[in-house]
Amino acid sequence: MKSPKREILQKFRKKLLILLSSLLLFVLLAALFVSKYENEQPLDITTYETLLDNNMIDKAIIGQKYVTIVSQGHSYTIPKDAIDIATLYKKVPVTMQENSQFVIDIISLILLTGVLGYLLYYLRKRQSEPIPIQHQIQIAPVQEPEEFKSNIAPQVSDVTFDDVAGIEEVKEELEEIIDFLKDPQKYTEFGVRMPKGVLLVGPPGVGKTLIAKAVAGEAGVPFFYQSGSAFVQIYVGMGAKRVRELFAKAKEMAPSIVFIDEIDAVGKARGGMRNDEREATLNQLLTEMDGFEPSSGVIVIGATNKIEVLDEALLRPGRFDRRIFVSLPNKEERAKILQIYLKNIPHYVDVNKLADMTVGFSGAALASLVNEAALHALRKKKRMVELSDFEEVKDKVLFGKKKILAFSEKEKEIQSVYQAAKALAAHWYEVEFDKISLIGGTIKELDKEIVSKSDYLARIKVLLAGYVAMQIFYNEAFSNAAQDLARAKQMAIEMVQEYGMGERLYGDIADAMAIIDSALSELQKYLHQHRETIQKIAQELQRKESLTNQEIKELLDALL
């Protein structure tokens, strides 16, 4: 006779075996069903025509609404209405979908689900029977991955061109686009086709996204923002699906603007290191832009700082017809941008002087500069932001937080002589700078479209002045010259190899070395003659640790 404990254990094992077997059978049949009817990848019309023209379709199965295409062991579906069935019959073996097998599979799945449901009900009813603790088994629930969900939604932009300064030429290019979005009928009646796409090209931080928002705000239309990287998915077909959904939504709410930031993430040239998912997404983007009707009222604006890597098909006429290059702001544009950012900040600052200090700053960098200067003023418990606050945080915005150097007395002496020689050379060769200090202070970047050979030579001499001063005063070279020497060499190479400013039109490293050697020779004579002046500047610099351009001028006027 069996013991009660053994009987309970056997009953438990039977129930568990029935449950696991049923679950396994259900999963296998469901997987077969899903793989047969749901896991077929969608096929766009461009890829379908390519497969058909190149005889790459093995067979086709025609159903009620969809056609299943089999190519190289893979199955794809395409809407029946989207293709020419007669042409398909001529080129490919075609069969009709058998509905009987579909019905059998459905009935089998329903019956199996019923059986499984009964078993679960039976087991749940008997849960009240005690099971020894040592035989209890806990099965963790299976966590299935969440399905891809789209979160594409339009934005209403409250940005206008009044909020964006320093882009007058860009505004002129976009005025027609805005007018078309406001009144597309005026253009269609006149027979004018507006560009389907506008590509904004420029370095990071110049305001490409802000410009797109301003266009939407001026036109008063919905604005769909997507980053190029959002289309690059790990799931096959998800990128193309997202593109279809984005453009479908934009067409529903036309007139509207689709803005794709960092479009190079999805629009890189095809070939080379292949990425089939990215290429499928790019193909879908190209197809959607081709599918626009002239009067659809949807404008695509793309932004990139790497136009050279974009696929040629994306740049051809009919897609991104208009390209607008957004460059770093010049002095006048920087002044206008600074006025906007300083509007709500209490300040006592000459905006033109501040614009002079910020050569090479983008719009985003200027916004950060104003914010950092205001924070610096608050830390100092000031009621107004002053120019000195901007001078203190300028290097932090450009290069990150400055490292505070703990110089010894000897190092302070060496560094002050090095910087004093650079200041004297900058004054003599008329190269502008804001200030010099023991831990920084550099000459201004060139703010000209056309730069002369004389300008380049003057800057190279200023960069080399500290190195030469070390030779004169200490007969030694020091590591503090590393950055300036690297920049001087780079500029000399640019002069001879890019701009033809050497002895020969086709210059080489020898010509660049000749420029450096000539500058060193000239500096050796000039700085040796003004040893006492360099010492006076160095002493003042050691005392104050930093000197402005104006203070250097006053000191030199008294000495020379």
CATH code assigned at 483:
1.20.58.760
Sheet of strand 66-71: strand arrangement: 41-42, 74-79, 66-71, 59-62, 94-96
Give me the pLDDT at residue 473, please: 94
Classify residue 239 as exposed, middle or buried by CB count within 10 Å of its CB (0-12, 13-18, 19+): buried
212: Cβ–Cβ under 8 A, 6 or more apart, which residues? Answer: 200, 223, 225, 257, 259, 301, 303
**Is 178:220 a contact under the CB 8 Å cutoff?**
no
Give me the pLDDT at residue 10, please: 60
Q: Output the CA–CA distances (angstroms, integers) from residue 181 to 103, 196, 217, in the order listed.
A: 51, 12, 11
> Two tokens at 132?
């020894």
Report d(CA 230, CA 241) in Å as an integer: 12
Report d(CA 550, CA 369) in Å as an integer: 23
Domain housing 44:
4-134
Would you say residue 326 has pLDDT above 90? no
pLDDT tens for each residue of 105-114:
566 666 666 6
Give me the pLDDT at residue 307, please: 82
- Across 195-234, b (16+ Cβ under 10 Å) vs e yields bbbbbbbbeebbbbbbbbbbbbbbbebbbbbbbbebbbbe
Would you say residue 193 has pLDDT above 50? yes
Give me the pLDDT at residue 30, please: 58
Report d(CA 8, CA 14) in Å as an integer: 10
Would you say residue 246 has pLDDT above 50? yes
* Same domain, yes or no: 297 and 338: no
Q: Would residue 533 count as lying in a domain?
A: yes
**Least confident stretch, 116-120, 256-260, 382-386:** 116-120
Would you say residue 501 has pLDDT above 70? yes
Phi-psi region of 383 (alpha: psi -120 to 50; beta: other; left: phi over 0): alpha
Report d(CA 539, CA 369) in Å as an integer: 31
118: Cβ–Cβ under 8 A, 6 or more apart, which residues? Answer: none
Would you say residue 147 has pLDDT above 50? no
Q: Would residue 148 count as lying in a domain?
A: no
* Same domain, yes or no: 221 and 287: yes
CATH number at residue 247: 3.40.50.300
* Same domain, yes or no: 168 and 297: yes
pLDDT tens for each residue of 11-70:
666 666 566 666 666 665 555 555 554 445 677 777 777 778 777 788 888 777 778 888
In terms of Cα–Cα distance, which of 209, 207, 265 is closest to 233? 265
Phi, psi for 136 (deg, rounded to 5): -75, 135
Q: Which of 325, 346, 375 is the last residue of a domain?
A: 325
Q: Would residue 199 count as lying in a domain?
A: yes
Report d(CA 478, CA 470) in Å as an integer: 7
* Same domain, yes or no: 305 and 173: yes
Rg of the chain taking only CA atoms, in angstroms: 36
* Same domain, yes or no: 499 and 427: yes
Residue 77: strand pairing partners:
42, 68
Give me the pLDDT at residue 47, please: 74
- Across 100-127, b (16+ Cβ under 10 Å) vs e yields eeeeeeeeeeeebeeebeebeeeeeeee
* Same domain, yes or no: 251 and 218: yes
Domain count, the chain: 4
pLDDT tens for each residue of 421-444:
999 999 899 888 777 877 655 566
Q: What is the mean pLDDT of the chain?
A: 76
Q: Would residue 109 count as lying in a domain?
A: yes
Local confidence band at 137 (pLDDT 50, 70, 90 cut-offs): very low
Q: Which of 325, 353, 384 is the last residue of a domain?
A: 325
Q: Output the CA–CA distances (angstroms, integers) from residue 492 to 337, 430, 457, 506, 510, in the order listed.
A: 34, 19, 8, 14, 10
Q: Would residue 492 count as lying in a domain?
A: yes
Portion of the chain with pLDDT greater than 90, in percent: 13
* Same domain, yes or no: 300 and 166: yes
Which residue blocks in 317-362 are alpha helix, DSSP H? 331-341, 351-357
- Residue-wise DSSP of 16-82: HHHHHHHHHHHHHHHHHHHHHHT-PEE--HHHHHHHHHTT---EEEE-SSEEEEEETTEEEEEEGGG
Q: Output the CA–CA distances (angstroms, integers) from residue 188 to 179, 191, 226, 377, 399, in the order listed.
A: 12, 5, 28, 55, 51
**Least confident stretch, 143-147, 222-226, 468-472:** 143-147
Q: Would residue 29 count as lying in a domain?
A: yes
CATH number at residue 340: 1.10.8.60
Give me the pLDDT at residue 417, please: 93
Better-scored residue on pLDDT, 470 or 180: 470
CATH number at residue 121: 3.30.720.210
* Same domain, yes or no: 384 and 460: no
- Residue-wise DSSP of 204-220: TTS-HHHHHHHHHHHHT
* Same domain, yes or no: 319 and 171: yes
Better-scored residue on pLDDT, 238 or 202: 202
Report d(CA 187, CA 179) in Å as an integer: 9
Q: Which of 117, 134, 151 is the last residue of a domain?
A: 134
239: Cβ–Cβ under 8 A, 6 or more apart, which residues? Answer: 231, 232, 233, 266, 277, 278, 280, 281, 284
* Same domain, yes or no: 368 and 243: no
Largest CA distance in the chain: 121
Q: Output the CA–CA distances (angstroms, integers) from residue 209 to 91, 157, 245, in the order listed.
A: 48, 11, 21
Q: Would residue 139 count as lying in a domain?
A: no
Taking CA 97 as the corner, what is the angle to CA 96 and CA 101, rounded to the nearest 5 degrees? Answer: 140
Q: Output the CA–CA distances (angstroms, integers) from residue 104 to 33, 314, 350, in the order listed.
A: 11, 48, 83
Give me the pLDDT at residue 143, please: 41
Better-scored residue on pLDDT, 516 or 541: 516
* Same domain, yes or no: 537 and 430: yes
* Same domain, yes or no: 416 and 453: yes
Q: Would residue 89 count as lying in a domain?
A: yes
Reduced 3-state DSSP string for 64-98: CCEEEEEECCEEEEEEHHHCCHHHHHHHCCEEECC
**Range among 249-253, 288-292, 485-489 with highest mean pLDDT value:** 485-489
